[in-house]
Amino acid sequence: MYMANMLRPLPRDFYDRDTTQVARELLGKLIVHRLPQGERIGRIVEVEAYLGPHDLAAHTSKGITDRTRVMFGPPGHVYVYLIYGMHHCMNVVTEPDGTGAAVLLRALEPVSGMDLNTRGPGRLCKALGIDRSHYGADLCSQALFITEDPEAATPPPAIVASPRIGVDYAGEWASAPLRFYLDGNPYISRIIKKAGRRDTNKKNML
C-alpha cells in the first residue's frame, strides 16, 4: 500500500520536453486521482505520442480550436476529449506553450482503489474517474497528478514501440512507431499477434 505522503507530483519541467521522450518516461509512473471516497492509483503501462500540428494523427493538425486549445497551452495539463459520444480519453500536454503536442494514456495496471477494466483509454478514464470536467486540469496539483513509483521494478521492463492504434487516416503518420508499452505487461490494451498483422478485437480499443 502506498502512503499518501510518499507521492509527489512530477515537476512541470518533466513535461516540458520532447514528446516522444516524455511518452517513454511516463511508462512505469503512477497516476493518482484523489477523490472524496479515496485515492485511485494506476501504473501507466501504455501510451501514444502525438507530436503537434505537423503530425496528421494529432487533433492539433487542424489548428487551435475550442477542443484543442489546452494542447497549445503550457505543459503538464490535461487534455480530455470524448469519443463515440460516451468514452473519455486523457492526454498529458507536453513541450513548450504553443507546441500542440500531448501523450495519450492508453492503459493502466491497477494499483489501488480501482476495480474496473483499465485496458484502453476510455476504460482507464472510467476507472480513474476522469471526464470532461478535468479538461485543463493541472498535473502539478495535489488532486490529479503523475508521480514516481517508489516500488518501481529494477531493472525496469523493456519498452516496445509500435504504430498507434486507430489512426489509419493519417497517411504516412499512421505507421510512425509512436505507441509505447511495457513489454509483457498483462494490462496493455492490444497485442500485435504476428508481424504485419494486428489484433482486430475492437473491445480493447476504448
Closest CA to 135 of 47, 198, 66: 66
Cell representation of residue 142? 495535489
Strand partners, 34: 39
Q: What is the predicted pLDDT for the residue at 85? A: 80
Q: Residue range 32-55: average pLDDT? A: 97
Domain range for residue 63? 4-186
Q: 44-83: b or e for each residue (b if 16 or more CB lie within 10 Å)?
A: bbbbbbbbbbebebbbbbeeeeeebebbbbbbbbbbbbee
Cell representation of residue 46? 501504455
pLDDT band at 202 (very low <50, low <70, confident <90, very high): very low
60 domain-assigned? yes
Q: Do 46 and 181 form a contact (C-beta atoms < 8 A)? A: yes
Dist. CA 184–CA 159, nearest whole Å = 9
CATH code for position 181: 3.10.300.10
Q: What is the predicted pLDDT for the residue at 4? A: 57
Q: What is the predicted pLDDT for the residue at 201? A: 39
Q: What is the predicted pLDDT for the residue at 115? A: 92
**Range of weakest confidence among 2-16, 30-44, 54-68, 133-147:** 2-16
DSSP 8-state code for residue 2? -
97 domain-assigned? yes
Question: pTM surpassing 0.85?
Answer: yes
Task: Report the number of distinct structural domains present in the chain.
Answer: 1
pLDDT band at 204 (very low <50, low <70, confident <90, very high): very low
196 domain-assigned? no
129 domain-assigned? yes
Q: What is the predicted pLDDT for the residue at 3? A: 60
Q: What is the predicted pLDDT for the residue at 196? A: 37
Q: What is the predicted pLDDT for the residue at 84? A: 83
Q: Residue range 110-126: average pLDDT? A: 96
